Amino acid sequence: MNPTAITEMHYQEIRDLVYRKAGITLGDSRQALVQARLTKRLRALDLEEFTDYIEFLRADESGEEIVQLLDVIATNFTSFFREDRHFQLLSEIVRKAVKDKAKKFRLWCAAASTGEEPYTLSMVCQEAADGKIPDIKILATDISTKALRACVEGRYDEVRLNSVPEPSRRRWFRKDGSEYVASAELRAPLRFSRLNLMDVPYVMKGPFDVIFCRNVMIYFDRDGRAKFVAEALRLLAPGGILMVGSSESLSGISMGMESVMPSVYRKGTACP
Ligand SMILES: C[S@@+](CC[C@H](N)C(=O)[O-])C[C@H]1O[C@@H](n2cnc3c(N)ncnc32)[C@H](O)[C@@H]1O
């Protein structure tokens, strides 16, 4: 059974829902992609028409179908050591914390996707701390339950591991057939949890020394971005650092955070 094509009206309804629930703006050009991805979902649910699917979505009080919908629509592209200069800067920040005799270090990865970014954060922090910061914790969150399952599994094929330097790969991953599995040591500082960045206020208390929120704000409009930035600012420690994707900017919504370099912001020590 092949579901019928998505009409302009269905697409508009799905767009509205995705915007209201996740702050994600789907442009006109994404209609074919949404159709292709949702067709599989309709088949899995044994539904013939998009109208039936939209009714099913509306009737779903648990919110579980919205999670499924976002799982099929969200773009999870990521890689180990993506935009490497952020990790070099993080390494410097952690080394400075070691010099300052910090006892703990708190990091939040706000759009963890399938885990490559949070596992990179764990490698970089632990290598830079060299066992001298006793309490390192990294919270990794994402809206997608499917992506979070991949995070927890921590299993990647060889091609994905290509961007991990050989010594780090040997130290932090165990080979299992043609795949690599994150070691217990690499997982130790990490906690994975579902969080929709549009559901404010966030439940975490912070404060975080560093927040990574990269390549997700491109899907949000100005209101959505401002919502996140206000919460990030609240959760950062004074002097804490926020890193966003290289193609993202907080221009006009930085709320007093100072720009350290493109896509890197610092919460001033005078900020509340
Ligand atoms: C393109 S990936 C970026 C992954 C990683 N941060 C990186 O830069 O490589 C975007 C991620 O944002 C997540 N996402 C989209 N909307 C979200 C929302 N409203 N709240 C939390 N995560 C969201 C998606 O599920 C996806 O995993």
Ligand 1 binding pocket includes 75 (Cβ within 6 Å): yes
Catalytic position from the list 15, 30, 82, 142: 142
pLDDT on residue 272: 63
pLDDT of residue 270: 64
Q: Which amino acid is at 240?
A: G
Residue 72 in contact with ligand 1 by CB distance below 6 A: no
- Decide whether any atom of ligand 1 lies within 6 Å of the 149 Cβ: no
> What mean pLDDT is predicted for residues 134-161?
96
- CB count within 10 Å of CB 114 equals 24
Per-residue pLDDT for 1 more than 60? no
Residue ID of nearest Cα to ligand 1 atom 3:
215
For ligand 1, is residue 198 a contact (CB within 6 Å)?
Answer: yes
At 171, give phi and psi (nearest 5°).
-70, -40
Give me ligand 1 centre to Cα 116, in Å. Answer: 12
37 is catalytic: yes
- Ligand 1 and 21: CB distance under 6 A: no
Cα separation, 149 vs 168, in Å, equals 23
CA distances from 120 to 21, 107, 151, 163, 209 (A): 29, 12, 12, 10, 17
The pLDDT of residue 37 is above 80: yes
Q: Give which of 76, 87, 66, 82 is closest to 21, Cα–Cα.
A: 66
Q: Which CATH superfamily does the domain covering 85-266 fall into?
A: Vaccinia Virus protein VP39 (3.40.50.150)
Domain ranges of the chain: 8-73, 85-266
> How far apart are the C-alpha atoms of 175 and 185, rounded to whole Å?
15
Q: Give the nearest ligand 1 atom to 144 CA.
A: 25
Q: Could you confirm whether 142 is annotated as catalytic?
A: yes
Report the nearest atom of ligand 1 relative to the CA of 83. 8
pLDDT, residue 127, reads 98
Share of the chain above pLDDT 90, in %: 72
Q: How far apart are CA 207 and CA 238, in angstroms?
A: 9
**CATH 1.10.155.10 at 8-73, yes or no:** yes
Q: Are 154 and 119 in contact (CB under 8 A)?
A: yes
| Reported confidence tier of residue 168, pLDDT bands at 50, 70, 90 | very high
pLDDT on residue 148:
95
Rounded to the nearest 5 degrees, what angle is found at the Cα of 53, between the Cα atoms of 51 and 59? Answer: 105
Distance 100 CA to ligand 1 centre (A): 33
Compute the distance between CA of residue 192 and CA of residue 112 in angstroms, rounded to an integer: 9
Q: What is the mean pLDDT of residues 29-37?
A: 88
Q: In sequence order, which residues have a C-beta less than 8 Å from that of residue 263 and are 6 or more positions away?
A: 83, 86, 243, 244, 245, 246, 248, 249
